Amino acid sequence: MAQLKATFIYSVLTSFVENDLKILKNLNIDVNEIKSAPYKRPFNFIINRLKEFVYSFFYIPKSQVVICWFSDYHGFFPLLISKVFKKKFIVIVGGFDAVSYKKLNYGVFLKKNLRMKIASLIYSYASEIWVVHKSLSNGCINSKKSLNIDSGIKTFLPNLKTSIYEVPTGYDFSFWRSKNKIRDKKTILTVANIDNDQTFKRKGLSEFVSLANKLKDFKFTIAGLSKKMILKIDKPENMDLLGKVSTNQLVKLYSKNYFYFQGSIIEGLPNVLCEAMLCECIPIGNDVFGIGDVIGKTGLIYQGEKEIDKVKEFLVGEVTFDGKKARERIKSEYPLFKRIDRFNHLFNERKI
């Protein structure tokens, strides 16, 4: 039997995209990648679309399945050509492509423009839609109430007929494990790829800096910042600002810190929160989208900026949570094998 093939389209090689590529390759799927960086300049934009068309025309006829991370411009020509050649097209939704938040000028459904129409078209004609958390399908009530953030594919496309499946990202708990037996209880970490003010605010880092100013005897760390943001942030003396870090460095950081903070106001299913919990950090998270479901009863879940003092009280109080229980929650709820099985099922359906 000939080796199964897939065409895999993405805009940025994030950790979750990279993990899916590894899964496919470990399943012995021959993967052809189409990467289209999110350029805004007209020339680069046109070149990207031409590249997607040419590569799709070359790769997709030979593929059994087409997989596209995020519903955006880069998925249009792959979808079109997959329909011409009657190939199964899966679109994976991560967050930006199921949200509209005017205050931060964020989300593919923000404006009724070409971008929104293309995203809607992809959702309407895809074979399947995978969401990393159910809120990206049905919408997040808490973020709507507190910040008037519209979310959920069904909110924007109420008559959508395409099947939507919740397929969470999975985690290798043999890799993500604590390296330290003893930690300083006054250490707290947050991790995000941040290179602009919009992302800084979206990840709730203004509140994180505010906490650092209030808790001078704690050590706060932000990792994943661009050089521009490191220079721009007015950091307290008790805060470390770190640039991009490798996965091996991340394990050490998680293992070194006692608490992990996820203050995002918009999020799908946060990888870094799950990784930190696997490394036995006590989680603290804003109750929006997938954050509360990830944490469960293993840490503190708070209700937005208005409850930031609740976070302060939690940090200085007596901690009754156990990092080992946080680890066990991720192991039971988000194991890597569940996502592997979903991909395996997808290709087994197409075997001939």
What superfamily in CATH does domain 5-170+335-348 come from? Glycogen Phosphorylase B; (3.40.50.2000)
Is residue 101's pLDDT more than 90? yes
Residue 1, pLDDT score: 55
The pLDDT tens digits for 28-44 are: 999 999 999 887 788 99
Asked if 97 contacts 115 with a C-beta cutoff of 8 angstroms, the reply is no
- Indicate the residue type of 122: I
Fold exhibited by the domain 184-333: Rossmann fold (3.40.50)
How many other C-beta atoms lie within 10 A of the C-beta of residue 248? 9
Q: What are phi and psi of 187, to 5 degrees?
A: -125, 135
pLDDT confidence bin for 218, thresholds 50/70/90: very high
- Domain boundaries, given as residue ranges, for the chain: 5-170+335-348, 184-333
Asked if 168 contacts 334 with a C-beta cutoff of 8 angstroms, the reply is yes
Residue 104, pLDDT score: 95
Mean pLDDT of 305-309: 92
Is residue 352's pLDDT more than 50? no
Going by the DSSP 8-state scheme, the letter that residue 171 receives in this structure is B
Q: Do domains 5-170+335-348 and 184-333 have the same CATH topology?
A: yes
Mean pLDDT of the chain: 94
Residue 181, pLDDT score: 84
The C-alpha atoms of residue 77 and residue 305 are separated, in whole angstroms, by: 41
Residue 272, pLDDT score: 97
The pLDDT tens digits for 246-304 are: 999 999 999 999 999 999 999 999 999 999 999 999 999 999 999 999 999 999 999 99
Mean pLDDT of 109-132: 97
Q: List the Cα angle 70/77/28 in 5-degree steps.
A: 65
Is residue 349's pLDDT more than 70? no
Residue 320, pLDDT score: 87
Longest Cα–Cα distance of the chain, Å, equals: 64
Residue 221, pLDDT score: 98
The pLDDT tens digits for 42-99 are: 899 999 999 999 999 999 999 999 999 999 999 999 999 999 999 999 999 999 999 9
Identify the bridge partners of residue 286 per DSSP, sorted by sequence position. 302
What is the reported pTM?
0.93
pLDDT confidence bin for 351, thresholds 50/70/90: very low
pLDDT confidence bin for 350, thresholds 50/70/90: very low
Is residue 207's pLDDT more than 70? yes
pLDDT more than 90, % of the chain: 92
* Torsion sign over Cα 147, 148, 150, 151: positive
Residue 135, pLDDT score: 97
Mean pLDDT of 193-216: 94
DSSP character string of 256-269: HEEEEEE--SS-SS
Asked if 3 contacts 27 with a C-beta cutoff of 8 angstroms, the reply is no
Is residue 334's pLDDT more than 90? yes
The C-alpha atoms of residue 211 and residue 218 are separated, in whole angstroms, by: 9
